[in-house]
Amino acid sequence: MSFRVTHELHRRRFGRNLGVGLILAGFIALVFGLTVVKVTSGGFELPRAEVQK
């Protein structure tokens, strides 16, 4: 039983897919981080109704 040598095209495709995956993961982490900061900073609170007498 022998393993076939990986073709050069598959190595390039794997490298490209890995790069795109890392960029996508970074973008998702950035959006998640911005969301966490926005929610915890208090800027996400609903406006309070003023009581009139």
pLDDT at 52: 61
Rounded CA-CA distance 2/50 in Å is 77
Residue 44 makes CB contacts below 8 A (sequence gap 6+) with 38
Q: What would the mean pLDDT of 20-29 be, rounded to a whole number? A: 98
pLDDT at 48: 73
Q: Considering the entire predicted model, what is its pTM?
A: 0.63
Q: Who has greater pLDDT, 51 or 19? A: 19
Q: What would the mean pLDDT of 4-11 be, rounded to a whole number? A: 84
